[in-house]
Amino acid sequence: MELSRSKYKHLFQLRVRNFQVDSQGIVHNAIYLEYCEIGRVEYVRNLGIQLLPTGIYSDGLKINVKRNEINYQSPAMVDDLLDIHTRISYVKNSSFCFEHLIYKSETNALLVTQKSVQVNLNCETNRPERLPDHLRKIIIDFEGDNVEILS
Amino acid sequence: MELSRSKYKHLFQLRVRNFQVDSQGIVHNAIYLEYCEIGRVEYVRNLGIQLLPTGIYSDGLKINVKRNEINYQSPAMVDDLLDIHTRISYVKNSSFCFEHLIYKSETNALLVTQKSVQVNLNCETNRPERLPDHLRKIIIDFEGDNVEILS
Amino acid sequence: MELSRSKYKHLFQLRVRNFQVDSQGIVHNAIYLEYCEIGRVEYVRNLGIQLLPTGIYSDGLKINVKRNEINYQSPAMVDDLLDIHTRISYVKNSSFCFEHLIYKSETNALLVTQKSVQVNLNCETNRPERLPDHLRKIIIDFEGDNVEILS
Amino acid sequence: MELSRSKYKHLFQLRVRNFQVDSQGIVHNAIYLEYCEIGRVEYVRNLGIQLLPTGIYSDGLKINVKRNEINYQSPAMVDDLLDIHTRISYVKNSSFCFEHLIYKSETNALLVTQKSVQVNLNCETNRPERLPDHLRKIIIDFEGDNVEILS
């Protein structure tokens, strides 16, 4: 897990809403996965790819989450502005990995580290399928040396 | 809006969860619409109709919400057990109306009254379409004199 | 319900997220109440008042939702950008009313009209309490002739 | 991660709701963390401990999530009935670990495996604090040999 903020080339800001906290007044643990997903959709949009109404991406890819890992360092509260940092750390054959850091914008306190393994599925069979070359190229062009290409 | 609990022939119980409250520790105003929808899905299941993965019902109907009205009398809190009462109050040509009362099970305190106008859509054109006779019959058989048939 | 967009002096844009739709691919009916609440929090922020971690506003007010009315004209889909228009239409003794219009930004199609009656509560007794003069003044200064002062 | 269903002494059933799926018609990845949390609250209730409106448990404990790990094997769909299996796998000084298996009730297909590290916090300082003996005893009485006591 990359902890250096400077390795994350994509940043998206969002605000904690009243319906995202629990009765302790802190953001519920499941909601951070929504925040990270917003980070990924905006990361991918920045690469020129849009999420379609079908849940398929505009380049024809169907990407599902295979695994999430999330560590909670410090809680976010109602109305906090958050920095969602997103990077792709590696690309394998059909899968690849997003890493996220979430900071409280005002104080620069690190709140959450998150890792999300994605898998590229064939739209008809729903079986894993090699990530196509055009997407590999787009990722390498954006991440440069920061991404490991593992197959 | 029917306020007499005895006119509601369908009851579903559910429990308030930690992620459904806001920072005041009370259930968020939008969440009650989820509770009422759970009541409707269970009401319809009780009539022998199931919600399919496509969001269409098992008898081929596509029913969307046209209008919601909701009054908040008293707040629900974390871990409260709630009674969701559901009835159909009227049937028009393509639309019909659900009414809901939500009580706190333990104290019988009335928390919320809700009215939800539904419209039957043609699955292909998405345009309103007359509610079919088989559904009218099922509703009348269940609600008896409690439902008004307006066309 | 005011339908003329020009009477709404406050606009907030947000994007529909993947986890806010149902199995028909359209935004779930309860989620629009979250969107309207975001509109209200941003409207109030624009007046110089912030929502605190306690759910109380920074000027000491505790405002709860008393009633929601919402009409669904046309559905929003994943990744749509939405215009949330917010105004205060009237102020009574302890209550006041927000109105919202939600448009799809790209096409200017009207999706939703919403009305939300709020009540000012005493922070200790939780009983309705006259809306203080400093807030009345702020609202009138912002809304001008568009707001009715009813008591 | 314990994969044998027979090692899980606690089971809770729930139904997938329409507002918990995404535009692919499958349950959103963040929602399974809500399901697991429901499993934990019911597990703890079964031990005689209730979640209070403050988010504190009825025995005075404040337990927060420190880390979640979740693997998605197969997707749940709208209206699926799910079996949420919950166990405590180990207890350390101030932390302990829940494990969950989620199955589709109808087919017995394994959908999700989840691990959630919890930490006991001092209610005033919010700092980690040794899990009290009364809770250790309750856990050992329930889990027997299935739980590892690591300090």
Mean pLDDT computed over D41-52: 94
Q: How far apart are CA C27 and CA C19, in angstroms?
A: 9
pLDDT of res. C82: 98
Sort strands A148-149 and A81-91 into parallel, antiparallel or unpaired: parallel
For residue D74, how far is the Cα from the chain centroid?
19
Helix (H) or strand (E) holding A10: strand A10-15
CB-CB neighbors (< 8 A) of C77 in chain A: 53
* Mean per-residue pLDDT, D5-25: 95
Contacts of B81 (CB under 8 A, 6+ apart): B13, B14, B15, B16, B104, B105, B106
pLDDT at position B59, please?
Answer: 87
| Neighbouring chains to A with at least 3 Cβ pairs closer than 8 Å | B, C, D
Q: What is the pLDDT of residues D76-103, one digit of tens each?
A: 999 999 999 999 999 999 999 999 999 9
Q: What is the mean pLDDT of residues D51-71?
A: 92
Within 10 angstroms of residue A151's Cβ, the number of other Cβ atoms is 10
pLDDT at site D59: 87
Task: Please tell me the number of Cα atoms within 13 Å of A95 on its side-chain side.
Answer: 11
For the cut 90, the answer to whether the pLDDT of residue C33 exceeds it is yes
Q: Higher confidence at residue C144 or residue A54?
A: C144
Domains and their CATH numbers in chain A: 5-149 (3.10.129.10)
Q: Using the predicted structure, report yes or no on whether residue D55 has a pLDDT greater than 90.
A: no
Is A19 in Cβ contact with C37 (below 8 Å)? Answer: yes
User: How many Cα neighbours within 13 Å face the side chain of C48?
Assistant: 8
Q: Dig out the tokens for C93 from the structure.
A: 């003794």
* Backbone torsion region of residue C135, taken as left when φ is above 0, otherwise alpha when ψ lies between -120 and 50, otherwise beta: alpha
pLDDT greater than 90 at residue B54: no
Of D30, D55, D64, the CB nearest to A30: D30
Range A45-58 burial, b when 16+ CB lie within 10 A, else e: bebebebbbebbbe
| Closest CA in chain B for residue D75 | B53
Q: Which residues pair with residue A64 across a beta bridge?
A: A119
CA distance linking residue C15 with residue D56, whole number of Å: 35
Burial of D118 by CB count in 10 Å (0-12 exposed, 13-18 middle, 19+ buried)?
Answer: buried
| Two structure tokens written together for C69 | 């009315």
Residues of B with CB under 8 A from a CB of A: 18-19, 21-23, 25, 28, 30-31, 77-78
Over pLDDT 70: what percentage of chain B?
100
Tokens standing for A16?
Answer: 């904690």
Q: What is the mean pLDDT of chain A?
A: 95
The subunits that touch chain D, with at least 3 C-beta pairs less than 8 Å apart, are A, B, C
Residue B10's CB is within 10 A of a number of other CB atoms, namely 21
Tell me the nearest-neighbour CA distance from B24 into chain D, angstroms.
9
Query: For residue range A101-129, what is the model confidence (pLDDT) as tens digits?
Result: 999 999 999 999 999 999 999 999 999 99
Determine the pLDDT at residue D24: 85
Average pLDDT, integer, range D14-33: 95
Residue C131: DSSP 8-state: P
> Which among A25, A30, A31 has the least Cβ separation from residue B23?
A25
Which of C77, C78, C72 has its CA nearest to residue C36?
Answer: C72
For residue A19, give both structure tokens: 């319906």
Element (DSSP H or E) covering residue A46: helix A31-46
Largest pairwise CA distance in chain B: 47
The number of C-alpha atoms within 13 Å of C44 and in the hemisphere containing its C-beta is 22
For B9-69, the DSSP string reads -EEEEEE--GGGB-TTSBB-TTHHHHHHHHHHHHHHHHTT--B-TTS-BTTS-EEEEEEEE
